[in-house]
Structure 1
Amino acid sequence: MATDLVAGVAIVSFLAAFWWDGVVVAVFALVLLGVTVPRVAGLSGVVQAATGATLILGAWAATLDWYVKVPGLDLLVHAVANGLLALVAVLVMVRYRAVAPLMSRLGAIIVTAGVGALLGVIWEVGEWFGYTYLNDAIGVGYDDTVGDLAAGTVGSALAGATLGAVAEDDDE
């Protein structure tokens, strides 16, 4: 139920994005991708709903300038979204045997944090590209980039710790 609601909100948000510019449409297209991958991969409803809701919140926060108006929201969203996306990526890789099942909490933390750091770098390069070539209103800068990367990596490490704890509990 929650997964269907989140998917519906993502679709409506994508359609609403057309009232803004192409950058906003692209951001919400990425949200749709972030909602679709966990669903198609058959991940748990909790992971699907949490990931989708966080991505929708993050996209609307960027669109409506909430990051400027609410101190700390940018770092919080980067930590949570990056952590969830890293978790999704690792679970998909495990499900499709691209990596071995994570047997220890430390292994889960290292792999998930590494994947999250890579996803964070890709996102920040995308922000730089958008700022440089598409719209100079996109917020970039040294402090923003480093803070986003740090928050995203910490969020991913916490997601890995959670994954490792769940994997250890399943082994018992």
Structure 2
Amino acid sequence: MTRRCPAWVPVLVLVLTVAQLAVAEWVPGIERFADKAFGARLVAYPLLMSVVPFLWWLVVKRRHPDRHPPYGAFTLVMLPFLVDVTGNSLDLYDALLWWDDFNHFANWALLLTGIGLIICEQVRPSWAVVLLVTGLGAVLAIGWELGEWFTFIRHGTELDTAYEDTLGDETLGTLGALVAGIVVARVLSRRDTTG
């Protein structure tokens, strides 16, 4: 019997993320949260965290009512938002020079592993899984950077360094997605051989 992730795990990730966002938005005087659009994040992050589970329930569960929800994959999709908010809560973006770069790589690896495990069940051969997950990760990295530009950069103080940072972030996100693609291809390959 396969061990499954319990339903409470992605719920806990969502609750921890929203709780930190609420503190960042509503508790006054915490300098590390200033000018980082936590009001927008308080709305956007829970919505973005819920997109994949919502689409899974809408599409897959309606067609296959007996299928068990992939709570582990949902958790992987949600974890990058928790990691980002926790990094802000612990002031890691300012305290550790490499934290932002690490986030773009690791969070895209987590996000795309979760998405890949959901959307690639029927995709073969393995190289197609890697290509699909990496390409989707690159598109999402570009979209994320456009969102950051619109939210933080276009009228902010980071305009002088934005181009170089954006290219680096997109590259690291795409590399994280490549790692995710390899992981997903291996997991699916093992599932195929073990039945």
Relative to the length of structure 1, the TM-score reads 0.79
Give the structure 1 partner of residue 134 of structure 2: 113
AA aligned opposite 2:19: V
Higher alpha-carbon deviation: 148-157 or 48-57: 48-57
**Is the aligned partner of 1:81 residue 2:88?**
no
Report the secondary structure of 1:2's partner residue.
helix
Give the structure 2 partner of residue 98 of structure 1: none
Give the structure 1 partner of residue 11 of structure 2: 4
Contact map agreement 1:89 1:115 (CA 8 A) in 2 = no
Report the secondary structure of 1:71's partner residue.
coil
Contact map agreement 1:112 1:156 (CA 8 A) in 2 = yes
Counting only pairs closer than 5 Å after superposition, residues 95-110 of structure 1 correspond to structure 2 as: 101-110=122-131
- Post-superposition CA distance 1:76-122 (Å, at most 9, x none): 11112222333344445457xxxxx2212211111111000000001
Higher alpha-carbon deviation: 52-61 or 117-126: 52-61
**Is the aligned partner of 1:48 residue 2:74?**
yes
Give the structure 2 partner of residue 61 of structure 1: 87
State the 4+ residue runs in structure 1 displaced beyond 2 angstroms: 1-4, 13-22, 27-31, 37-54, 59-66, 83-95, 135-140
Change over 3 Å in CA distance of 1:55–1:114 after alignment to 2: same
Contact map agreement 1:127 1:140 (CA 8 A) in 2 = no
Higher alpha-carbon deviation: 47-56 or 154-163: 47-56
- What percentage of residue pairs aligned between the two structures are identical? 23
Once the two structures are TM-superposed, the CA of residue 151 in structure 1 deviates from its matched residue by 0.8
Relative to the length of structure 2, the TM-score reads 0.71
**Is the aligned partner of 1:163 residue 2:170?**
no
AA aligned opposite 1:170: R
Gaps of 5+ in 1: 96-100
Contact map agreement 1:102 1:164 (CA 8 A) in 2 = no
Report the secondary structure of 1:146's partner residue.
helix
Once the two structures are TM-superposed, the CA of residue 53 in structure 1 deviates from its matched residue by 3.0
Give the structure 2 partner of residue 122 of structure 1: 143
What do you get for the CA RMSD once the two structures are aligned? Answer: 2.8
How many residues align? The count is: 166
Gaps of 5+ in 2: 1-7, 27-32, 58-68
Change over 3 Å in CA distance of 1:117–1:69 after alignment to 2: same
Counting only pairs closer than 5 Å after superposition, residues 126-137 of structure 1 correspond to structure 2 as: 126-130=147-151, 131-133=153-155, 135-136=156-157
For the pair shown, which has the larger CA radius of gyration, 1 or 2? Answer: 2
- Post-superposition CA distance 1:41-99 (Å, at most 9, x none): 2653333333323311213424665223212111111112222333344445457xxxx
AA aligned opposite 1:125: L
AA aligned opposite 2:38: V
Report the secondary structure of 1:117's partner residue.
helix
